Structure 1
Amino acid sequence: MTERLTAEGISYAVANRLVIRDVSVTLAQGELLALIGPNGAGKSTLLRLLTGYIPPARGRCLLADKPLAQWSAQTLARYRAVMLQQTQVGFDWPVETVIGMGRMPWTPQPEPSVIHQVMQLTECLSLAGRRYAALSGGEQQRVQLARALAQLWREGSPRGWLFLDEPTSALDLFHQQHLLRLLKSLTRQGHLHVCVVLHDLNLAALWADRILLLHEGRIVSEGTPIDVLQRETLSRWYGADVQVGPHPCAPTPHVFLTP
């Protein structure tokens, strides 16, 4: 029933300034989509529009041909989960309790088996019993990913739409690699769509199936990493001096800053 999420000509303004301009995009399950672009391009705002957190000024976002605003909050939460850059937890709860919050759309009492499976997937078992407020920024990001996956957990795996805003920003190299490998493998199962904001173009090149490059609220390039991560394209829209070459171990481009 809910195999597509579509934005049709959406725009959004802040203080009479358009920050998203006539964007149309279709998300289908089984794909990892990366949103890239310079600071202020509108990546985080577009992500919030696609999730239904904010309504567009023009256009519409639909899930299964039904506007997001017409979905009840609980039902929408069963199909769409969001991991923001920073998530404040108002209480000093244990890690398991924070992850269990993701099960609220489904049950008043989180199922221990689901929590264990999600913690195992996200390398959070070593954090069991610890207080969330005492964790490092990277550890908190891992817990928030586990919470989001728990929210979408049905029939033994996460299913639906997962939106993440710079989820690798506080992670070390190992956990960046683990997170994106995990998201890629979950999308390949065909039941999950991942839409992720990334600043690291080389992470997007390695793991995204499709990339949207935004500039001043518009999509200025869209396609596979090879299609989008071209030197001329990146130099034009980022204003940076770059070189693009082949990755030594994968059939993807690799972006280098020019000294």
Structure 2
Amino acid sequence: MANHLQALNLCYSPVLRDINLSLEPGELVALIGPNGAGKSTLLRVLTGYLSPDNGQCLLHGKSLCEWSAQALSRHRAVMRQQSQLGFDWPVDAVIAMGRAPWEQADSRRVVKQVMDLTGCAPLSARKYNTLSGGEQQRVQLARALAQLWVKDAPQGWLFLDEPTSALDLYHQQHLLRLLKQLTATGQLHVCAVLHDLNLAALWADKLLLLHQGEIVAQGSPQQVLQADTLRRWYGAEVHIGQHPGSPTPQVFLAP
């Protein structure tokens, strides 16, 4: 059975057109592109929350529509841009929601492991609705990781929609370092919508550049983050340099 998530000629009118891609365990992929390119919609189709008009999305060679909700939830988890709760639960209870698809016997142990891993342990007794936006994002990441937790580590496909948008510099670095370390085990795939091209360049193994619902460029950061490519699809004048501590490109807006 193919161990990947694959999109074949995926269309979702009027946003997405003829999307073909394959997401493999052990990689961190960043979806990039200008506003309105279809990044969030593609994420929702790839995770089964939206059904394509044409084409199909396959997980382990089986169409997403053929998976039961519980079985699919054991293989893929999603962290959305904003996750408001209609109830005022403590943080540890919110994270424990991620264990819903599983037997509850080991829930407390998993929640503790995930809180320690994500730096949420100091927040555990606080009410979720009293947290800052950045703290809520960290809790939602922990919930998503708890959903994929198998034998002391996450396994499967983790989809994140702008996970760094409300985080300060330290927590941006901590989150992306953590995701990079987790994918390095070869059991987890991470697909994240990122607007910050420099963060994407520094941490992603592969970039998928969307424009008006189509993948117009894909490959390593070095392959995709070219001045001519960004000028064409973003419409912005940019200069490309190199990160001082890493052989990765960095994008600078022209004055």
TM-score w.r.t. structure 1 length?
0.97
Give the 3-state SS of the residue equivalent to 1:26 in structure 2: strand
Task: Provide Cα deviations, 1:152-208, integer angstroms capped at 9, x if missing partner.
Answer: 000110000000000000000000000000000000000000000000000000000
Deviation (angstroms), 1:107: 2.4
Partner amino acid, structure 1, of 2:6: T
Pairing partner for 2:214 from 215, 218, 228: 218
Residue number in structure 2 paired with 1:201: 197
The corresponding residue for 1:39 is 35
| Residue 119 (structure 1) shift | 0.4
Partner of 2:10: 10
Give the CA deviation at 1:112. 1.4
1:109 Cα deviation after fit:
5.8
Match of residue 233, structure 1, among 209, 229, 235: 229
Instruction: Say how many residue pairs are matched.
Output: 255
Once the two structures are TM-superposed, the CA of residue 110 in structure 1 deviates from its matched residue by: 5.8
Distance 2:91 2:3 in 1: 32
SS at match of 2:15: strand
Report what 1:247 is aligned to: 243
Q: Which ranges in structure 1 are unaligned for 5 or more consecutive residues?
A: none
The answer as to whether partners of 1:104 and 1:110 remain within 8 angstroms in 2 is no
Counterpart check, 1:51 vs 2:74: no
Structure 1, residues 105-130: CA drift from partner, whole Å, max 9, x if none?
00246621111110011110111100
Q: Which residue of 1 aligns with 2:58?
A: 62
2:116 paired residue number: 120
Partner in structure 2 of residue 76 of structure 1: 72
Question: Out of 162, 168, 189, which is 1:166 matched to?
Answer: 162
Distance across 2 between alignment mates of 1:109 and 1:173: 37
Q: Which amino acid aligns with 1:138?
A: G
Deviations 1:201-246 (A, max 9, x none): 0000000000000000000000000000000100110001110011
Instruction: Give the 4+ runs in structure 1 shifted more than 6 A.
Output: none
Q: Kindly, what percent of the aligned residue pairs are identical? A: 65
Counterpart secondary structure, 2:134 = helix
Is the contact between residue 100 and residue 110 of structure 1 (CA under 8 Å) also seen in structure 2? no
Which structure 2 residue ranges, 5 or more long, are not aligned? none
Structure 1 contact 103–110 (Cα < 8 Å) conserved? no
Deviations 1:23-46 (A, max 9, x none): 000011000000000000000000
Tell me which residue corresponds to 2:173: 177
- CA drift of 1:2 comes to 6.4
